[in-house]
Amino acid sequence: MLRFLGSVADLWIGRNAVPSPEARADVSGLVPAVVITGASRGIGRALATRFARAGANVALVARDAESLARVAAEIAHAHNVKATPIALDVTKADAPAALDAALREAGFYADVLVNNAGMGLAGPFAEHAPEEIDRLIALNVTALTRLTRHSLPAMIARGRGGVLNVASLGGMAPGPYQAVYYASKAYVISLTEAIAHEVRGRGVRIAVVAPGPVNTGFHKAMGAEDALYRTLVPALSPEAVAASAYRGYCIGRTKIAPGIVATVNAVALKLLPTFVSAPLIGALLARPERPR
């Protein structure tokens, strides 16, 4: 059924596509691949596995070469596809060119780009070190924007392809005590929806997935594991998020909120005024004060 719905979506998504022979010639001899950033663990790894299960070749991008190589080998063995690890810091200015070179060396071109790499930051905004804020923006905003802008023109010229951005349910409202993280994900959602409108009908899927809490090491890494939301808000597994994101992407949805809880919360956050949502979310995100 998903394959059928995907084929129907293809017809609608490509209704005005005008593939360029030159663009297709540029990737002659290469095979299409799904490129996933932040693919060594968590949602990125689960998305790589889900695309591979559907028969797609995958290129796994992250900084940890050892973890990437292990995950790529596991995916290739389990799903009989080509899985190539690419150790790369996507925040570097030359990352798009370096990624292209690595893909061509592997015999790939980027048919689908999954911007999953990201980081969080918890605590009062005024207490964050400026370099921490810069690092978050460089990864969550600048790298995603740069890679998307680099990849999209060739996809439009070929009349096929896609970009799947991983945001957060938090991007739909202000997030006191995770202010920069929530703002970065609001940017990702807004950018994705705007681009989706611009390229409508030209053969390229543009989607954003906005999950709520997910059971990975993400929350602990950002220092938010003891915040109230980790107890009160049900968390999904990375595999459940990946399955929902993949389904939504295939059928041509632009915004995907995995699970019933995220779907209901997404609607509620749209309806609630900020003077209600901000203190409510702030209460959920605030970390308990530790004794001095």
Q: List the CATH number of the domain containing 260.
A: 3.40.50.720
In a domain, 34, yes or no: yes
- Residue 165: pLDDT band (50, 70, 90) is very high
Q: How far apart are CA 49 and CA 55, in angstroms?
A: 10
Residue 161 belongs to some domain of the structure = yes
Indicate the pTM of the whole model. 0.94
In a domain, 6, yes or no: yes
Radius of gyration for the alpha carbons in the chain, expressed in angstroms and rounded: 19
Would residue 131 count as lying in a domain?
A: yes
User: Which residues are within 8 A (CB) of 12 and not within 5 positions of it... i.e. 6 or more apart?
Assistant: 201, 252
pLDDT (0 to 100) of residue 225: 82
Please tell me the distance from the alpha carbon of residue 163 to that of residue 198, in angstroms, as a whole number: 13
Phi-psi category of residue 255: left, alpha or beta, with phi > 0 → left and psi -120 to 50 → alpha:
beta
First to last CA, the chain: 58
Local confidence band at 291 (pLDDT 50, 70, 90 cut-offs)? very low
Q: Kindly state the average pLDDT of the residues 255-282.
A: 87
What is the pLDDT, as a whole number, of residue 290? 54
Residue 118, φ and ψ in degrees, nearest 5: -170, 170
Residue 4 reports pLDDT greater than 50: yes
Q: How far apart are CA 109 and CA 106, in angstroms?
A: 9
Residue 22 included in any domain:
no
When pLDDT is cut at 50, 70 and 90, the band that residue 178 belongs to is very high
Q: Is residue 166 part of a domain?
A: yes
109, 177, 181, 246: the catalytic one is 181
Judged by average pLDDT, the poorest of 13-27, 65-79, 263-277 is: 263-277
In sequence order, what DSSP letters do the residues of the chain get, joined into one string?
A: -HHHHHHHHHHHHTTT----HHHHHHTTT-EEEEEEETTTSHHHHHHHHHHHHTT--EEEEES-HHHHHHHHHHHHHHHTS-EEEEE--TTSTTHHHHHHHHHHHTTEEEEEEEE-------S-GGGS-HHHHHHHHIIIIIIHHHHHHHHHHHHHHHT-EEEEEE--GGGGS--TTSHHHHHHHHHHHHHHHHHHHHTTTSSEEEEEE----BSSSHHHHTT-TTSTHHHHS--B-HHHHHHHHHHHHHTT-SEE--HHHHHHHHHHHHHS-HHHHHHHHHHHHPPPPPP-
On the question of pLDDT at 171 being above 60, the answer is yes
Q: What was the pLDDT predicted at 289?
A: 64
Any idea which of 123-137, 199-213, 254-268 has the lowest mean pLDDT? Answer: 254-268
Inside any domain, residue 21: no
Q: Buried b / exposed e across 180-206, counting CB within 10 Å, b at 16+?
A: bbbbbbbbbbebbeebbeebeebbbbb
pLDDT, averaged across the chain: 94
Residue 24 inside a domain? The answer is no
229 is catalytic: no
Based on the structure, what is the number of domains in the chain? 1
- Residues of the domain holding 56: 2-15+29-285
Q: What CA–CA distances, in Å, run from 168 to 20, 78, 200?
A: 35, 29, 23
Distance CA 247, CA 258 (A): 10
